[in-house]
Amino acid sequence: MVQAEQGAPLYQQLAQRLWEGVDRASMADGERLPSVRLLAAQYGVSLTTALQALRWLETRGYIEARPRSGYFVAKRMRRTKRTGGAAETKHASAKRWVRPVAELDAQARDHLAIAGAPSAVRLDLASAEATLYPVDRFSVLLRRLAYQHRDLLVGSHVRGSGYPALRAQIARQAIQYACELDPDELVVTNGCVEALNLALRAVARPGDVIAVESPTYFVLLQMLRALEMPAYPIPCVPESGIDVDALKAALDRGVPIKAVVTVANGNNPLGSVPSDAAKRALVELLRERDIALIEDDIFGDLCFGDTRPRPVRAFDEGHGNVLLCGGFSKSLCPGLRLGWIAGGRFTERVKALKYTTSMATAELQQAAVAQLLAGGGYALHLRRLKAALQSQQHALRDAVMRYFPEGTEVTRPAGGFVLWVKLPGIDGAPRDTRTLFERARAEGVSFAPGHLFGEGGAFDDCLRLNAGNRWTSELDAAVRRLGELAAQAEPIVAA
Amino acid sequence: MVQAEQGAPLYQQLAQRLWEGVDRASMADGERLPSVRLLAAQYGVSLTTALQALRWLETRGYIEARPRSGYFVAKRMRRTKRTGGAAETKHASAKRWVRPVAELDAQARDHLAIAGAPSAVRLDLASAEATLYPVDRFSVLLRRLAYQHRDLLVGSHVRGSGYPALRAQIARQAIQYACELDPDELVVTNGCVEALNLALRAVARPGDVIAVESPTYFVLLQMLRALEMPAYPIPCVPESGIDVDALKAALDRGVPIKAVVTVANGNNPLGSVPSDAAKRALVELLRERDIALIEDDIFGDLCFGDTRPRPVRAFDEGHGNVLLCGGFSKSLCPGLRLGWIAGGRFTERVKALKYTTSMATAELQQAAVAQLLAGGGYALHLRRLKAALQSQQHALRDAVMRYFPEGTEVTRPAGGFVLWVKLPGIDGAPRDTRTLFERARAEGVSFAPGHLFGEGGAFDDCLRLNAGNRWTSELDAAVRRLGELAAQAEPIVAA
């Protein structure tokens, strides 16, 4: 008998009810269960919860997944009598279903609130301070363009794919790391977030399961929730990124994955960069299975070392199965809000979605970025920015090692802005970074708490720290205080 | 027996198969039919087609709608034996279901292609020529801001709702026409298109039926298709806008409308402005039924006459049931791509969706618009722009009356950019503006063909002409040629 504990998470309660349903319907061994989408509708829960419930039953051997088919009642599993109770909760769960899925959860809202409070010591966002960007150069470029090319203020709505010179420059940049992009497949977006949003909607529909790296960028998880696409986590490790074998195993088990999102180069939050062999294995696996790959390469230009790592897309060999998303908000100038997407074989869909999502992107800043890239100052700027980020990461890492409790683990990122920190447990119980977050916040220090980066509590003892700020004694003091609070952090009590 | 003709539209074929299914299942009079969403999935068609099929059966008395419940088998309707045929088409229709819904239809793609061809005489887009906008003023403002406020190039990602000074100015503008907006409910968007997209997603989910004006702005119809929200047309007339009685009748018949979109002031394409009484009736009807109203007020500032008409939202009296969308692309400067939304009671959801759709809007142009509005030059600019639009509309209208076939009907818009033209029939058969569109296009003259503005062929003999360009002899020649081609246009042959 599947038995969820008192106060168990919703998905466990659902798993129990689901199994009761299987029992009640006298479903035979090997009989197929309803789809995730149907279950969610029937039981009045989110798609994520429905999928979690199925996986919970699967890991316990009640049901089994089959490739491309769904979930089936496992053979040789003993049945028990039903215990009732489902009928009573029907009305309540139907109400739950109509709850707006687009609402942010409380923690994400906290995060937004903090993002809007400029007084705090900002260790939360993945952003570098203004002095690290060529703001003066952009000031000159924008002023010149606003004077000489006033047409940029008028006609952008007829060029929904973006300013031609910028699309050409993006393709030219990519050639430098042996990644062929066609300017005609490029669409300029309002930041990389819009690129990701368009990519997801181009390849998947509400209810479709999207595999994501675990841990991953929390805005991606919020985005999937808003799009009603359940996220299926694939382990990701600091040394080598996404676990392609685990992804393959999930596909072989029949998890109905519609698309995979990877932040391969300079993964957020791990800072990992997979080997070229791993990238090739990923792209080939997904091509074989006809599953789209969405790649977020916004940190690609910010990977340390002499050679800019190639995006996974570079290994696609013209099949067009990778939707490559990039942007300039991390590497060049955050306030211009410019991103881009190379849609591959999904280009027409991406363009159609751009048309009805925001129609076009303002052109003045597109022209400015195009001129900066054409002028050749980008390589020098990147060298400086990467050197600064690397030295700031060293300083921040040293401070964490010095001030945080013994046993704290910190990543050595291969690129990007952030460090990922795992707190040591207390007598085997993990330390809670949610409460730590609240306490640090009360003292004016913000960070990104681990639970935002995955579902199911896997990262509740982790936190992400931003190394984008120049190292100062004020920062040192903030990390010291954070370390003291971390030492006092409470263990997580099992529900 | 429901009998679709050979070569009948897909929805009629579906209606036939649906009724065969009712028959086969021996459903009793008064029994409830599956939901639109389920039917679409079962029969492998779009939600729009499923809804059309149900309405086709309804108008013929086979089924009946009940308020808030759905469709039911009508009483006293004679049944016939099924004729088979559904099984054979099952596979084909399942394939059709996986066809990406986000693809633009062929005509919309034509329209995009034309929009990208700058050589044509542009009577297609609702846009005014550059000389009618304060481009020089923006050039000065942008240059000054790019010099003095370089912080605008850096920090916008922490202010996802938009630049505070702009939100304050939007609220201040609205006070002038007695519409109270709270700066805290405002979110600045990448054009009014993003505002509409966020509004729809804030109040409805895929599968939910959205009532729209008929005819309406074609980007809205494409957007609904991309969002998988079936559009339910409500008649809209040049004199008074949306027919509130028809909307009420549809609701009373049980059409499951989740939200209504209105372009009340200066409707696109009709140029209508409803009376205040009609606006109040609309807002009260929807509040009573707990149905959200999305108002696109992008043409509100461009209505002729001395008094700026109040948006429908002004009659909401604090209930927050109206999501008001606006923007500056039509009235102030097209290339800045700035819009906004006042979310009312849906504000939190709108903000959450903005966060995962594009995160934030670039701030440089927000600050420029805020300064222009604060400087007080907007009222003067609007007077000039409206005078130009009105005189251009007169010239265009006169030319249409002169050159088009006798019996052509043309609107006298109360505002906005466009004229809506209905061609006279030939021996009772409507003239086809699709083929006219192709022929005119071949001669370098573009317009927006009527079929883009509604579904089901209601506007296939109409066209929309843009009066945003200064009247020239070249335009006169283009309209004359268009009139000649219209005189030769073929009648639409019934399928």
Residue range A250-289, pLDDT digits in tens:
999 999 999 999 999 999 999 999 999 999 999 999 999 9
- Residue A157 pLDDT class (50, 70, 90 cuts): low
Range from B52-61, B95-104, B153-162 carrying the lowest mean pLDDT: B95-104
* Cβ–Cβ below 8 Å for A158 and B116: yes
- Chain A hits for B123, Cβ within 8 Å: none
CATH architecture group of domain B106-130+380-487: Alpha-Beta Complex (3.90)
Alpha-carbon gap, residue B414 to B265, rounded angstroms: 8
What pLDDT was estimated at residue A108? 60
B138 contact A CB<8A: yes
What pLDDT was estimated at residue B19? 76
Range from A108-112, B203-207, B263-267, B432-436 carrying the lowest mean pLDDT: A108-112
Rounded to the nearest angstrom, the gap between the alpha carbon of residue B170 and the centroid of all alpha carbons in its chain is: 23
Q: Which two tokens stand for residue B445?
A: 């003259």
- Chain B hits for A358, Cβ within 8 Å: 189-191, 193-194, 197, 337, 358
Query: In terms of Cα–Cα distance, which of A460, A468, A465 is closest to A478?
Result: A465
Mean pLDDT along residues B222-230? 92
Q: What's B126's DSSP letter?
A: S
ipTM of the prediction: 0.81
Distance between A454 CA and the closest CA of chain B, angstroms: 16
Alpha-carbon gap, residue B354 to A219, rounded angstroms: 11
Q: Is the pLDDT of residue B321 over 80?
A: yes
* Cβ–Cβ below 8 Å for A154 and B139: no
What pLDDT was estimated at residue A3? 55
Choose among A157, A337, A348: nearest Cβ to B361: A337
* Cβ–Cβ below 8 Å for A157 and B228: no
Range from A140-144, A324-328, B157-161 carrying the lowest mean pLDDT: B157-161
Residue range A198-208, pLDDT digits in tens:
999 999 999 89
To which residue do tokens 């034309």 refer?
A: B114
Q: Is the pLDDT of residue B107 over 70?
A: no
Choose among B152, B228, B358: nearest Cβ to A358: B358
Alpha-carbon gap, residue B415 to B392, rounded angstroms: 12
CB pairs under 8 A between A and B: 245
To which residue do tokens 């640090």 refer?
A: A440
- Chain B hits for A227, Cβ within 8 Å: 356
What pLDDT was estimated at residue A76? 45
Residue in A closest to B189 by C-alpha? A358
- Chain B hits for A126, Cβ within 8 Å: none
B120 contact A CB<8A: no
Choose among A157, A205, A226: nearest Cβ to B334: A157
User: What stretch of H or E contains B375?
Assistant: helix B364-375
A101 contact B CB<8A: yes
B360 contact A CB<8A: yes
* Cβ–Cβ below 8 Å for A352 and B143: no
Q: How far is CA A153 from CA A169, A194, A362, B340, in A?
A: 21, 22, 8, 18
Query: In terms of Cα–Cα distance, which of A188, A136, A141 is closest to A164?
Result: A188
Q: How far is CA B175 from CA A160, B320, B338, in A?
A: 33, 16, 20
> Among residues 276-335 of chain A, which lie with CB inside 8 Å of chain B?
329, 333-335
Domain boundaries, given as residue ranges, for chain B: 10-98, 106-130+380-487, 135-376
Q: Is the pLDDT of residue A400 over 80?
A: yes
Quote the mean pLDDT of chain B.
Answer: 86
What pLDDT was estimated at residue A258? 97
Domain B10-98 falls under CATH 1.10.10.10: yes
Alpha-carbon gap, residue A325 to A196, rounded angstroms: 6
Query: In terms of Cα–Cα distance, which of B486, B464, B451, B455 is closest to B53?
Result: B455
What pLDDT was estimated at residue B85? 36
Choose among A190, A194, A355: nearest Cβ to B222: A355
- Residue B24 pLDDT class (50, 70, 90 cuts): low
What pLDDT was estimated at residue B102? 38
Quote the mean pLDDT of chain A.
Answer: 86
Percentage of chain B beyond pLDDT 70 is 86
* Cβ–Cβ below 8 Å for B191 and A360: yes
What pLDDT was estimated at residue A109? 61
B194 contact A CB<8A: yes
Domain B135-376 falls under CATH 3.40.640.10: yes
* Cβ–Cβ below 8 Å for A357 and B142: no
Q: At CA A104, angle to CA A489 and CA A215, rounded to 5?
A: 55
Range from A154-168, A338-352, B309-323, B358-372 carrying the lowest mean pLDDT: A154-168
Range from A51-55, A336-340, A359-363, A439-443 carrying the lowest mean pLDDT: A51-55
Q: What's B202's DSSP letter?
A: H
Phi then psi for residue A158, to 5 deg, are -90, 0
A149 contact B CB<8A: no
- Residue B276 pLDDT class (50, 70, 90 cuts): very high
* Cβ–Cβ below 8 Å for A130 and B360: no
* Cβ–Cβ below 8 Å for A135 and B150: yes
Alpha-carbon gap, residue A256 to B32, rounded angstroms: 32
Distance between A130 CA and the closest CA of chain B, angstroms: 6
Q: Which two tokens stand for residue A205?
A: 């529909």
Q: What is the CA radius of gyration of chain B?
A: 24
* Cβ–Cβ below 8 Å for B112 and A193: no
Residue range B172-198, pLDDT digits in tens:
999 999 999 999 999 999 999 999 999
- Residue B90 pLDDT class (50, 70, 90 cuts): very low
To which residue do tokens 């685990």 refer?
A: A246
Mean pLDDT along residues B286-292? 97
To which residue do tokens 């952008």 refer?
A: A156
CATH architecture group of domain A10-97: Orthogonal Bundle (1.10)
B205 contact A CB<8A: yes
Distance between A96 CA and the closest CA of chain B, angstroms: 15
